[in-house]
Chains A and B, each alone.
Chain A
Amino acid sequence: MKVDVRTKMLVVVVFSLLALIYQNPRILGILLALNLLVLALFRVNFLLLRGFKGFVFMFSGLIVMQSFFVREGEPLWQVGEAVLLTTGGIYYGISILLRFLVLACSALLMAGCDPQELVLALVKMRVPYEVAFMIQLGIRFMPVMFEELQNIINSIQLRGVDMRKVYRRKILRFYTNLFSPLIYSVWQKTEKLAILLEMRGFRSSPERTYYRDIVLTRTDYLVMGVVLTSAFVFVFAVRGL
């Protein structure tokens, strides 16, 4: 189904809001299933999900932590007097994971869309052009920044330093090392870009011409209607769970 960027935005917002409202893993599970269904309807390439591999590791860590620190419900794992794991902990861990998955999957809907269309959509929603342009730049620079970060990580290791074996005590200093050049290079890039934009007359006149236009078709209104109605139905349907 080919829909407007704004329609996709609405879908993302609705799913994200619902994911943030609920904490019950059962409800979040249903939400995730619905989300995947929508992704399939919009023909999103599921292979994009592989991009989240890195996060999964981080989140598994978080979940384990949660499970150990939340002391509610029945004890599941006890060593002597100390309760290590409770049903409450597992419950929270799972709900966090599901919430993250819903947020990530709905964001995936935007992954395939053209940054220029996104700017247009924002401008049409009365977001100031400067702000919209900033968002576009942010999206465009993201991969560059990841590449740079990878470069720094490689360079550190090429100096014979194993990052996994750095002492805990010093980890903070180590990470400052990692991020200061990154921030510096981003700052340098923005400065260069600002000069370039100025030289080409960016915003020298308050109006700008758009070569492309985006319009909301009947499908869009239909999809928006269905999404909003379903959201309400969902809210009522899951009250009992």
Chain B
Amino acid sequence: MTYITLKDVTFTYPGKTVPAVKNVSQHFNPGEQVAITGLNGSGKSTLARLMVGLLSAQSGIVHLQGKPVKQYSLAERGRKIGFVYQNPSQMLFNNTVFNEAAFGLKWRGVKKEEVMARCRELLQYFNLWHLREEFPFNLSEGQKQMLVLASILALKPDFLILDEPTKSIDTEGKKKLKEILLDIWRQGTGTIVISHDREFIQGLNRRSLHMIEGEVRENEGRREN
């Protein structure tokens, strides 16, 4: 069964005349690896928000594991899909870096030792462990981005949707992020990476989609399974 299905999805922001996403039909299978590219304003972020049900399409349907996304609560969707916004600061809301990474696991009742172990591993991996007592808002932009990625990765979702994950991350960080994305993909996690960074998506684009003015073109050439 496909994991996320979009059928003829069209979405127009309120007050706009031109749709931001136009007649998009796509299937995303469990464990798939997809890269989405496109110019600024071509509708990539909008498409991502539609897939998680943060926006509702005016026409067409979005299904998650065979049911309309909206039939799941946002928390249920969050447990299935790890979604990282283009602006990571909007996703920070804890008082320390460690609590930020641990938040989801803690409130879900995962055992303390396990929360500790998983967060420690991730924070160390992203070079944030020495900052664990810091206030997340006081981190540098790149550090914030990595912290959000760590706090989503800690949840081990079935599918990851990352919107411009490398925006302010340095070369070292990008390399690490790519490695971890490949790693979890090999373990069966689906990944959808939206990016302008050609170098970064090399190797993360088993399937590659290109968006032009709200429409999705499949890059046939790169379709190799």
Contact = CB atoms under 8 A, between A and B. Distances in A.
A158 B94 contact: no
A151 interface: yes
Contacts of A142: none
| A interface bracket (residues with beta carbon within 8 Å of B) | 20 to 34
Given A159-B104, A166-B107, A154 B75 contact: no
B78 A157 contact: yes
Nearest to B75: A162
B137 A158 contact: no
A159 B78 contact: yes
Given A161-B104, A162-B73, A181-B137, A156 B155 contact: no
Interface in B89-110: 90-95, 103-104, 107-108
Given A152-B93, A181-B93, A181-B137, A160 B155 contact: yes
A181 B96 CA distance: 11
A181 B78 contact: no
A158 B74 contact: yes
Contacts of A162: 73, 75-76
Nearest to A151: B90
A155 interface: yes
Given A154-B54, A154-B74, A180-B95, A161 B108 contact: yes
Nearest to B73: A162
State the majority secondary structure of interface residues on B.
helix
Q: Which of B76, B93, B135, B151 has the most C-beta atoms of chain A within 10 angstroms of its own C-beta?
A: B93
Contacts of A157: 73-75, 78
A163 interface: yes
Interface residues of B, number: 26
Contact of A160 (B78, B92, B93): B78
Q: Which of B76, B77, B91, B107 has the most C-beta atoms of chain A within 10 angstroms of its own C-beta?
A: B107
A178 B78 contact: no
B14 to A, nearest CB: 14
B108 A158 contact: no
A9 B109 CA distance: 52
B75 A161 contact: yes
B83 A158 contact: yes
8 shortest interchain CB distances as A-B pairs: A159-B104, A160-B79, A162-B75, A157-B74, A158-B78, A161-B107, A160-B78, A181-B93
Given A158-B74, A162-B75, 18 more contacts: A154-B54, A155-B93, A156-B93, A157-B73, A157-B75, A158-B52, A158-B91, A159-B104, A159-B151, A160-B104, A162-B73, A162-B76, A166-B107, A177-B93, A177-B95, A180-B95, A184-B135, A185-B137
Interface of B: 52, 54, 73-79, 83, 90-95, 103-104, 107-108, 135, 137, 151-152, 155, 157
